[in-house]
Amino acid sequence: MSPVLFFDLLLYTVSQTETVSLSYMASEMESKFGIDISKQALHERFNADCVSFLKAVLREVLSGQFANLYSREMLPDFTRIRIKDSTKFLVPRSLEGEYGSCGGDVHSRSKASISIQYEFDLKSGEVTDLSLTSGARNDRADAGETVGNMEKNDLIIRDLGYFSTPVFERCAEQKAYFFSRLDSSTHVYDETGTLIDFKKNYELMQEQGIREQELFVYAGKKTGLPVRLIMQAVPEEVYQKRIREKTAKSKGQGRGTLTAETKARCRFTLFITNAEETQFSGKQVFLLYRLRWQIELQFKIWKSVYKIAAFREMKKNRYLTLLYTKLLLIIINLQITCSLQQPFNCDTRDDEIRIISNNKALKTLKTLFGKVFTMLRGTYRKAMECALYIRDRLSKNHWLESKNKKLCLPEILMLIICLSKE
């Protein structure tokens, strides 16, 4: 059994079943590839070398060329717009010695958990990071350990879990840019070294009848990180909801009532960035942060469609091999989707962006694994036939649509592009 046949068996298996038993795999090896192999012989092939092999294949696939997914016109001052987040889930008890707990249900069968760190470039669709770490390793640690991967003119968008002023300082030193929500425990000072009074600011904004304000401030210390602070006052119902949630959390952690500072900050959605207003405006800030939700949607697809969090008890090397194979299948299908996005855009008007829904496309591609497999392994003629079939399928009823009168991704992108041209 060659590495190619073994890899094909892994791909076929994770595309067809969630149980992934050795009996099933041995049966499929005989029926699909004509090789008779025992469960024990197959079991022995899942070793450390096998995991290294799959990781190497994943690196190779990630280095492949992605098509331009959206538009280079969007925020042209930035070479890449890198959005990153993580997802955690429990894994078999056999991995407890290697992976720490993410603090899940105490009654769960396993206390071990894995974190997947996932980052992609919003401009090209290229996946810039896809790595497995212990669930006990938090996002802030990841930010510190991967800060060296930033490049000049990158724009880094992160949620609060990655917030770190030392990381932002390193980012600025490397002539890259960051954009983040402001951590609730981080003080900000004006140019005179005076602590920003959010309660006073809110009262002044109410008097002036404005909802948004922008200030130049120093984050962390009086002479700390120089940033733009963009503030947006939230509706009263949002404020009350935040107060209820923070009060409940504070009581659960055994702390006292909320401080006046905490309550005042709840009045705002707060962002900081080291980018100049000429690079992206305050109006674009709120649109940009909504794009970060795309990564959360991808995690939902991974878990609901590809069942990456589903597991059964098995030895460590088999589990990791199969998990890497599932991630590979996801990336292959994302590359197919990205490759089709550009020609689809060419068929639209200049003032329109149509985006293929990852949710719809990945669900369909999972059911079309036979066609995808033929594209990888078939003759040129067969591969082209399958590629054209997939293109025709995805061009029908696979577009991202607005729901509940909310802006969808194409509309947000078009607004950002239009604002860039003002």
**pLDDT by residue (tens digit) across 238-281?**
999 999 998 888 888 777 788 889 999 999 999 999 999 888 88
For every residue of 190-224, DSSP letters joined together read -TTSPBP-HHHHHHHHHHHT-SEEEEEEEESSTTS
**43 lies in some domain:** no
**pLDDT interval class at 107 (50, 70, 90):** very low
**pLDDT interval class at 358 (50, 70, 90):** confident
Name the average pLDDT for the chain: 85
How much is the pLDDT for 127? 86
Listed range (197-206, 317-326, 333-342) with the worst mean pLDDT: 333-342
Q: Report the distance separating Cα 217 and Cα 195, nearest Å.
A: 9
**Under 8 Å between Cβ of 113 and 90:** yes
**pLDDT interval class at 416 (50, 70, 90):** confident
How much is the pLDDT for 345? 58
**183 lies in some domain:** yes
φ, ψ for residue 304, nearest 5 deg: -85, -35
How much is the pLDDT for 251? 83
Q: Indicate the pTM of the whole model.
A: 0.83
Residue 105 has pLDDT above 60, yes or no: no
**41 lies in some domain:** no
Q: What is the DSSP letter of 110?
A: -
How much is the pLDDT for 97? 75
**pLDDT interval class at 195 (50, 70, 90):** very high
User: What value does the mean pLDDT take over residues 4-13?
Assistant: 90
Q: Per residue in 14-65, pLDDT tens?
A: 888 776 788 888 998 898 888 999 999 999 999 999 999 999 988 888 877 6
Residue 421 has pLDDT above 80, yes or no: no
User: What value does the mean pLDDT take over residues 314-342?
Assistant: 87
**214 lies in some domain:** yes
**241 lies in some domain:** yes
**52 lies in some domain:** no
How much is the pLDDT for 199? 93
Residue ranges making up the domain that contains 192:
160-286
Residue 223 has pLDDT above 80, yes or no: yes
Residue 154 has pLDDT above 80, yes or no: yes
**pLDDT interval class at 163 (50, 70, 90):** very high
How much is the pLDDT for 108? 52
**326 lies in some domain:** no
**6 lies in some domain:** no
**Under 8 Å between Cβ of 398 and 360:** yes
Number of domains in the chain: 1
Residue 106 has pLDDT above 50, yes or no: no
How much is the pLDDT for 413? 72
**pLDDT interval class at 109 (50, 70, 90):** low
User: What value does the mean pLDDT take over residues 283-300?
Assistant: 83
Q: Considering the chain, what percentage of its residues have pLDDT values greater than 70?
A: 89
